[in-house]
Chains A and B, each alone.
Chain A
């Protein structure tokens, strides 16, 4: 079976920092940024991008739909 690598893009301004994606990530890819967005929330970001497997759990649970997931076969 081909190995799949994933990558996520976070819409920083729409993130409210609820941390649901961070908990749902099976590989520990996502962490909350020390910086804040325009509204003052610590937004989610891919802290360990090389760990992403493209499972899209984060995008699925995100209540505001701020995460886009890309997958590629390698």
Chain B
């Protein structure tokens, strides 16, 4: 079937893609800059077409626990929020990771800490990739850099979530969520009528009772479970790394950036090359698993790397670990909701590496 072309906001694209991907339920709570997701879903009213449940919970905490319940029943469920709301959801996210359940959490990041601003930022990198909630767990983190990717990653997220029984976070930001772009929408997929065998969907005589919990009072068993999780994360690190390279073949300096920053850096690479600086861009698409191996390979061929983020320096730590001392790594970023300009990035690249 032909893909449908539409002009949409990033947030609206996520909502429409969710309906088309056959999602069973959305539970959310409005917060700028992601309110359009829930607005769009209510207006589209998919309960009458696909049967998808759309519900505005009384709070973010309620929404994430509804997702926990829905995921426990083996359904495709999702929620979305922006930074302060995601902080409220962290307890539930840790429980969902602990119970090994699939779900999608969309984070349209805004400037922080605290209530912060409502403009785009990338300051939730640590929270998303290193844990956020308590306990030894990781989310699979996808970072879209366009409205098209925001739509495409909905289907991909559920594919990965169910494959590994792990929650997936889509780490977007206020710019991509609010940006209008053309987007090719995938055709409708029917909602699944069956549920996985681990789902708590009633006990037939043929099998034991399914129990969904993240509690174990026996430390030995809990450690075994932690090892199982670790093995799963190692498998994800091995198989699911996604990234994109832009003019890295002959680059002397590499910019590492994701999401909105990566779009800015594409222009920076062009500007730098006009000035005779051989720059390249590596854009991680998955932030967990991070493209550590590829960055390490590239580090052997270049003179330095610059991590460009809309934060005070978070991903730069992962870049440093990947580079492992081979070449200097610096960070450049604007904060609090300000998007860096391509010229600023080039100036900074020159200032930090070339210095004359």
Contacts and interface: CB of A to CB of B under 8 A. Distances in A.
Do A and B actually bind?
yes
Interface of A: 16, 18, 39-41, 63-64
Contact of B32 (A18, A39, A63, A64): A39
B179 interface: yes
Contacts of A64: 9, 180
B35 A39 contact: yes
Contacts of A16: 33, 178
Contacts of B32: 39-41
Contacts of B118: 39-41
A22 to B, nearest CB: 16
A12 B144 CA distance: 29
15 contacts: A16-B33, A16-B178, A18-B178, A39-B32, A39-B33, A39-B35, A39-B118, A40-B32, A40-B118, A41-B32, A41-B118, A63-B179, A63-B180, A64-B9, A64-B180
A16 B36 CA distance: 11
Given A16-B33, A40-B32, A41-B32, 9 more contacts: A16-B178, A18-B178, A39-B33, A39-B118, A40-B118, A41-B118, A63-B179, A63-B180, A64-B9
Chain B interface category by residue count: under 10
**SS class of chain A's interface: helix, strand, loop or mixed?**
loop
Contacts of B178: 16, 18
Nearest to A14: B36
Q: Which of B9, B35, B118 is the most central at the interface, judged by chain A CB atoms within 10 Å of its CB?
A: B118
Contacts of B35: 39
Nearest to A64: B180
Contacts of B9: 64
A30 to B, nearest CB: 19
Nearest to B177: A16
